[in-house]
Amino acid sequence: MATSKRAAKATQESLHRIFTIPEAPDSTLGRIEQEISQNLAGFLGDHIAAKEIALSEIEKDFACSQIPEDPSFVSDHMHHLLDKLVAQSVHTSSPSFIGHMTSALPYFLLPLSKLMVGLNQNLVKIETSKAFTPLERQVLGMMHRLVYGYQDDFYQQWMHSADHSLGAFCSGGTVANITALWVARNNLLKPEGEFKGVARQGLYAALKHYQYDGVAILVSKRGHYSLKKAADVLGIGQDSVIAIPTDQHNKIDCVALKAKCEELSAKNIRVMSIVGVAGTTETGNIDPLTEMAAIAKHYDCHFHVDAAWGGATLLSNKHRNLLAGIELADSVTIDAHKQMYVPMGAGLVVFKNPASVASIEHHAEYILRKGSKDLGSHTLEGSRPGMAMLVYASLHIISRPGYELLINQSIDKAKYFADIIEAHPDFELISKPELCLLTYRYNPAKIQQGIDKLTADKQLEVNKLLDKLTKYIQKRQRENGKSFVSRTRIEVEKYQGRKTLVFRVVLANPLTSDDILQDVLSEQAELALESQRFLPKLFKLVQQ
Ligand SMILES: *Cc1c(COP(=O)(O)O)cnc(C)c1O
């Protein structure tokens, strides 16, 4: 690390300087700023260390719990950050980083995000954000229209209305889901007669008043864990999120869903919300939303669609019908920081009915006055940055047809990858891509052909070994640093619903080429052959 011979000192002047005088262009910070804006990919490629260092090693660099007594010069500190932090970060924008939903960003977002940080607008209220508030309301309007497709007059009436909101912008899908279920809870357990509503009197009084023995949220077993957090913070309890079985395509089983609704109502448990998943996090599949909407209507409960990841598919005219029925939802979560290529911290929920957010409205005299257009009166978060501006800019710069191209090519790429997996004798496709996400594993041809003939015990043994092999390959590939796929454990129908370890791939980076995908598979096949531990044992099992 480059330590400075000059010693920085905390003085009135030096503090004044950091608020007024920019770093010189030839300072480390100035140089880095230039490098980043000229060639971000190159900069990251040069600085992120390919070699995997154990987290415990890295923790040593972040071990001191004392706030420094001595200030640092900015440039010196920048050296420190490059060395200790940047070098050990993850290259999420690399075209061969295909394991997660966090992806590459378009270049224009860098200068724009500087503008956002520089302006430091606080969206909690108009007094600290002015034009950012109508902008955010417009973004919510655009996303609302993308989902629900109402006409101009609807948006003219509601988009900027003080006592209404078409949705809530927030930090991500988790908060969006919490907000949606918060609205659902407060509308279900609303004030009535003497009862002042769950928001005022809490769940115990609410259940007593409405004479329910509990409330429940129903979602497929592929539902995102954020729903459990939501149930937890809303006081409903995680066990009230009830997992409904899925079919062999990872979509909710509507017969089982109806049966569960019947069972609960017989027990006097009120279904508060049915949640459809539009793009499950693990397999990318979409629930039958139209059918679910009808069930929700029948049981008179809030229908929420968690489209945090898959919602952006609505931007593709070619593929948006995959989400048919989403327009029947009372609320929809979409993460702009997933398939809309916006930096993290950009989630939103839209509500079909612009009046439904009234149930979560909060007011405070000094800040969120009644009748004001302050966005903070119906968001979970308080102070919030102007992230909506980055969504706004992306929607304008990329435009709907641009997004359509990005979405379409991601889906095409996933299909291509699925094809080469299926064509390869030693790989096994586990979940076919419906969007740009798929799962698979390495499974030698001989095993694939022989496994059916084995006893159940032997099959289990084979699958256990294959799990170990999958884990080994995934770890080694990550350590090699050329490419990255993630791994997850999902129930696989074909193997009697056994929880099976699989590779998971998300193909959103437009720079990921067919060649890269071929290389990913080749590397995995090589790693499998290299591993002396698993293959011989596997082959022995099928030969017996
Ligand atoms: C990612 C995701 C979430 C959570 O979103 P965050 O932005 O990580 O909070 C919720 N639901 C689904 C289906 C997701 O894919």
Domains of the chain in sequence order: 402-543 (3.90.1150.170)
The predicted-structure confidence for 161-177, as pLDDT tens digits, reads as follows: 988 999 999 999 999 99
C-beta neighbour count of 388 within 10 angstroms: 28
Contact call for residues 182 and 331 (beta carbons, < 8 A): no
Place of tokens 């960003």: 105
Q: Specify the DSSP class assigned to residue 380.
A: S
Distance 516 CA to ligand 1 centre (A): 27
Helix (H) or strand (E) holding 458: helix 456-480
Q: Give pLDDT, residue 480.
A: 87
Select the more confidently predicted residue: 11 or 211: 211
SS3 assignment, position 427: strand
- Among 12-21, 41-50, 60-69, 244-253, the least confident range: 41-50
The band of 532, judged by pLDDT with boundaries at 50, 70 and 90, is: confident
Helix (H) or strand (E) holding 88: none
CA-nearest residue for atom 12, ligand 1, is 308
Distance 452 CA to ligand 1 centre (A): 37
| Rounded mean pLDDT, 508-523 | 96
CA distance 312 to 367: 34
- Contacts of residues 422-427 at CB distance under 8 Å and 24 or more positions apart, as own/partner, are 424/521, 424/525, 426/525, 426/528, 427/521, 427/524, 427/525
CA distance 246 to 244: 7
> Which residues are 252's β-sheet partners?
246
Helix (H) or strand (E) holding 258: helix 254-266
The predicted-structure confidence for 199-223, as pLDDT tens digits, reads as follows: 999 999 999 999 999 999 999 999 9
- Whether residue 328 is predicted with pLDDT greater than 70 in this model: the reply is yes
**Per mean pLDDT, which of 20-29, 48-57, 84-93 is the most reliable?**
84-93
Q: Which residues line ligand 1 (CB under 6 A)?
A: 101, 172-174, 177, 224, 226, 277, 281, 306, 308-309, 335, 347
Q: Which of 103, 217, 241, 306 to mutate to test the pocket of ligand 1 (most atoms within 8 A of CB)?
A: 306
CA distance 221 to 406: 29
The predicted-structure confidence for 274-299, as pLDDT tens digits, reads as follows: 999 999 999 999 999 999 999 999 99
The predicted-structure confidence for 460-482, as pLDDT tens digits, reads as follows: 999 999 999 999 999 999 988 88
> Which residues are 269's β-sheet partners?
214
CA-nearest residue for atom 10, ligand 1, is 173
The predicted-structure confidence for 54-91, as pLDDT tens digits, reads as follows: 899 999 999 999 999 999 998 899 999 999 999 999 88
Helix (H) or strand (E) holding 53: none
Select the more confidently predicted residue: 109 or 8: 109
Contact call for residues 103 and 506 (beta carbons, < 8 A): yes
Distance 62 CA to ligand 1 centre (A): 29
CA distance 538 to 425: 16
Look at residues 461, 419, 451, 391 and name the one whose alpha carbon lies nearest to residue 146: 391
Distance 147 CA to ligand 1 centre (A): 18
| Rounded mean pLDDT, 377-397 | 95
- Whether residue 351 is predicted with pLDDT greater than 60 in this model: the reply is yes
Q: Give pLDDT, residue 365.
A: 64
Angle value at C-alpha 82, between 78 and 87, nearest 5 degrees: 170
What percentage of the chain exceeds 70 in pLDDT? Answer: 98
pTM (predicted TM-score): 0.95
C-alpha of 376 from chain center: 23
List the structure tokens of 130: 């002015």
Q: Give pLDDT, residue 434.
A: 97
C-beta neighbour count of 78 within 10 angstroms: 21
Three-state DSSP string of 269-307: EEEEEEEEEECCCCCCCECCHHHHHHHHHHCCCEEEEEC
CA distance 12 to 17: 9
The band of 22, judged by pLDDT with boundaries at 50, 70 and 90, is: confident
What percentage of the chain exceeds 90 in pLDDT? Answer: 77
- Whether residue 1 is predicted with pLDDT greater than 50 in this model: the reply is no
Select the more confidently predicted residue: 29 or 154: 154
CA-nearest residue for atom 6, ligand 1, is 173
The band of 367, judged by pLDDT with boundaries at 50, 70 and 90, is: low
CA distance 23 to 78: 12
The band of 366, judged by pLDDT with boundaries at 50, 70 and 90, is: low
C-alpha of 210 from chain center: 35
Q: Give pLDDT, residue 199.
A: 95
In sign, the C-alpha dihedral spanning 195, 199, 200, 203 is: positive
Mean pLDDT of the chain: 93
Q: Which of 229, 283, 333, 387 to mutate to test the pocket of ligand 1 (most atoms within 8 A of CB)?
A: 333
Q: Give pLDDT, residue 5.
A: 64
| Rounded mean pLDDT, 415-438 | 97
| Ligand 1 atom at minimal distance to the Cα of residue 281 | 15
| Ligand 1 atom at minimal distance to the Cα of residue 279 | 13
CA-nearest residue for atom 5, ligand 1, is 173
Look at residues 476, 481, 488 and name the one whose alpha carbon lies nearest to residue 527: 476
